[in-house]
Amino acid sequence: MRIDIIAGARPNFMKIGPIINQLKTYNEQHPDSPFQFRLIHTGQHYDRNMSESFFEQLGIPEPDINLGAGSGSQANQTAQIMIGYENAIKAWKPDVCIVVGDVTSTMACAIVAKKAEIKVAHVEGGIRSGDMTMPEEINRMVTDSITDYFFTTSEEANQNLRTAGHAEEKIFYVGNTMIDSLLSHLSKLRKPDFFDQKIVGKKYIVLTLHRPSNVDDPEKLSALLDTIHHAIDDCIAIFPMHPRTRKVFDSIGKTYDKFEIVEPMSYLEFMYSVQHASGVITDSGGLTEETSMLNIPCITLRDSTERPETIHLGTNVLVKEPSQLEGYIKRMISGEWKKGQPIKYWDGKTAERIVEILAGIQN
Ligand code: UD1
């Protein structure tokens, strides 16, 4: 079985790492293994601290091919990735294309693969926010509509797929490969350099914002940051700033003395910061899974989530009204928060399940 594994943007890298490791392990343990694979980086994210540092820290091999798609409008990026991937399958046509998550690279490569009669496997298939203003929701729906094997993270995802009419035998509830990465790196997390000087001995939260709905409008971003800065009292907010956010933030021209604004952090340093925080304020989806696993309070600044299990079982709350934010932040800092419960199959063994299933498909 020839497999292409696609990764393009930061949240993809934690999801593919365990699958690649497991394929390698399987090949070592099975001399007659059917698996041959290539890693394709689309180049959607390309800064060192958005891409390369994750490869190094997560032990992911150098990509076999980098499509170098880079930044651009949604259509431009999608087109660049599709053209690049179509060329890549001319030289070596896989049987299965594994895409992960919901970024533009996921959808673009799934379309190319399906049209070339390559089976599409979607890791993290089936999740839905219901919010069609998010590019990710469109990516999820398009990808799932042409997926052959769904590897799902939650019962809710399974149900969404059934409701959409997908056959039960295509749905494999395997858990969460991002949690595989987290669990296997817990003992290796690293204190960031600035901690001893700026953070140790103080209470802090972690803040991340990058959704267009929160950061693209300077007035909205500025009002949001004002509210957070006021509500955290004498806490510090470590704020690793996404390049998209940085562009708009610089145009606002304000300073926030309780924010420790840093470049996007490496995986091991970022997860260390989260693990020791009083809480996290974010608009990321993946981070709500990681905080749930680590039992760290999490406020999500969005109207909806595609990961409802992080609310029902995890430590996440959705805050839709800015007027409610201050109250939640106070509760977070004072430690009055719900405790997370285990989520089925979020146990560090998801990649093993995926590879076993792929081996079974081959047989
Ligand atoms: C993408 C994903 C989003 C994910 C996020 C994590 C889509 C539709 N969105 O959003 O789901 O949560 O990644 O970061 O795929 N840029 C750089 N350097 C980089 C990468 C990006 O400077 O290495 C800048 C560019 O100006 C670019 C902008 O950030 O235009 C946005 O990047 P893009 O990949 O389009 O989307 P993200 O906002 O990162």
Calculate mean pLDDT across residues 94-104: 98
Number of domains present in the structure of the chain: 2
Q: Are residues 171 and 310 in the same domain?
A: no
If asked whether residues 244 and 326 sit together in one domain, one would say: yes
Q: What is the mean pLDDT of residues 69-96?
A: 97
| Residues 25 and 130 both lie in one domain | yes
What range defines the domain where residue 282 resides?
189-334
Question: What band does 362 get if pLDDT is binned at 50, 70 and 90?
Answer: low
The reply to whether 81 and 195 lie within a common domain is no
CB of 9 within 6 A of ligand 1: the answer is: yes
Give the pLDDT score at 50: 96
> Is 318 inside any structural domain?
yes
- CA dist 294 and 282 (Å) reads 15
Q: Is the CB of 70 under 6 A from ligand 1?
A: no
State the distance from the centre of ligand 1 to the C-alpha of 49, rounded, in angstroms: 12
**Residues ≥6 apart with Cβ < 8 Å to 338:** 315
Q: 29-60: b or e for each residue (b if 16 or more CB lie within 10 Å)? A: eeeebbbebbbbbbbbbbeebbbbbbbebbeb
- Pair (200, 98) in one structural domain: no
Q: Are residues 201 and 58 in the same domain?
A: no
Mean pLDDT in residue range 28-55: 97
Residue with CA at minimum distance from ligand 1 atom 27: 71
Structural domain contains residue 197: yes
pLDDT at 200: 85
DSSP state of 352: H
Structure tokens at 152: 């799902």
Residue bearing the CA closest to ligand 1, atom 17: 243
Is pLDDT above 90 for 343?
yes
Query: Sorting pLDDT into bands at 50, 70 and 90, what band is 304?
Result: very high
Over the stretch 44-67, which tens digit does the pLDDT of each residue have? 999 999 999 999 999 999 999 999
Q: What is the mean pLDDT of residues 157-176?
A: 98
205 & 320 share domain: yes
Statement to judge: residues 162 and 237 lie in one domain: no
Q: Is residue 181 part of a domain?
A: no
262 and 121 part of one domain: no
pLDDT in tens, 16-27: 999 999 999 999
Atom 31, ligand 1: residue with shortest CA distance? 244
Q: Looking at the structure, do residues 171 and 193 belong to the same domain, yes or no?
A: no
Q: What is the distance in A from the centroid of ligand 1 to the CA of 9?
A: 7
- Are 59 and 106 contained in the same domain? yes
Which tokens go with 271?
């997860």
128 lines ligand 1 (CB under 6 A): no
Q: CA 232: distance to chain centroid?
A: 26
pLDDT for res 186: 98
Mean pLDDT of 83-107: 98
**CA 229 vs CA 185, 218, 235, 329: distances in Å:** 31, 16, 9, 10
CATH number of 53's domain: 3.40.50.2000
Is position 180 within any domain? Answer: no
Could you tell me the distance, in angstroms and rounded to a whole number, from the CA of residue 45 to the centre of ligand 1? 6
In this structure, the answer to whether residues 19 and 109 fall within a common structural domain is: yes
User: Residue 22 to residues 17, 45, 310, 352: CA-CA distances in angstroms?
Assistant: 9, 24, 26, 6
pLDDT 10s digits, 219-265: 999 999 999 999 999 999 999 999 999 999 999 999 999 999 999 99
CA distance 298 to 50: 22
Which residue's CA is the closest to the ligand 1 atom numbered 28? Answer: 244
Question: What pLDDT does 39 receive?
Answer: 98
Would the CB of 44 count as within 6 Å of ligand 1? yes
Angstrom distances, CA of residue 47 to CA of 8, 118, 266: 12, 30, 12
Q: Is 60 exceeded by the pLDDT of residue 363?
A: no
Per-residue confidence (pLDDT) for residue 281, from 0 to 100: 98
Residue 341 domain flag: no
User: Is position 322 within any domain?
Assistant: yes
In the residue annotation, 210 being an active-site residue is answered as: yes
Q: What is the DSSP string of 206-275?
A: EEE---HHHHSSHHHHHHHHHHHHHHTTT-EEEEEPPHHHHHHHHHH----TTEEEESPPPHHHHHHHHH
Q: Is 50 in the pocket of ligand 1 (CB under 6 A)?
A: yes
Name the pLDDT band for 322 (thresholds 50, 70, 90).
confident
| Ligand 1 binding pocket includes 352 (Cβ within 6 Å) | no
Q: For all residues of the chain together, what is the average pLDDT?
A: 97
